[in-house]
Amino acid sequence: MQIKPRKPTMKGPAEWFTGEVWMDGIAQGEEPSRLNVSAVHFTPGARTAWHCHSLGQTLYVTEGEGLVQSRGEPMVTIRPGDVVHTPAHEWHWHGATHDHFMTHLSITEGDMEWGPHVGDSEYRGEGD
C-alpha cells in the first residue's frame, strides 16, 4: 500500500481552457496503466477547448451545472450525479454554464489531442 500526499491545486492552462479553471490531481496510474483522474473546477462561463482522448473519457459531475457537446451534436446540460462517457477519438468540449460553477471528475486513459478554443457564440449555441 502506498499513501501519496495531496498535490497542490493547479490552474488550468490557457491553451486548454477559456476562463478560470482549476484542477486537482486525484490518481495517475503506474505503467502500463495510462489512467488519469482529476477533479476539474470551472468558474461560470469557463470551458475546455475542443479535444479528444485516444482511449475515451468519463466525466462524473459532482457540483454545479455544466454543458457538454460532441462535434456535430447538440449541447447538453449536465448536473450533479450525471455521468458522461465520450468514446475514443470523439471531439468534444465541456464546461460550466454562464451562471453556475461546475466541478466534475475527469477519468481518462491514453493521450489527449487539443483543438481550437470554443468561441463565445459557439458556447452560446449560436455557431461560430
Q: Dump pLDDT digits (tens) for 37-71.
A: 999 999 999 999 999 999 999 999 999 999 999 99
Q: Dump pLDDT digits (tens) for 77-117.
A: 999 999 999 999 999 999 999 999 999 999 998 999 999 99
pLDDT classification of 127: cutoffs 50, 70, 90:
low
Q: What domain range is 95 assigned to?
A: 10-109
Average pLDDT over residues 14-18: 98
What is the domain count for the chain? 1
The CATH number given to whatever domain includes residue 97 is: 2.60.120.10
Query: Does any domain span residue 53?
Result: yes
| pTM for the structure as a whole | 0.93
- Give the whole-angstrom CA distance, residue 124 versus residue 97: 9
- Give the whole-angstrom CA distance, residue 108 versus residue 114: 14
Percent of the chain past pLDDT 90, that is, above it, reads 85
Query: Does any domain span residue 94?
Result: yes
In the three-class reduction of DSSP (H, G, I as helix; E, B as strand; rest coil), residue 120 is classed as helix
Query: Does any domain span residue 91?
Result: yes
Give residue 30's pLDDT.
85
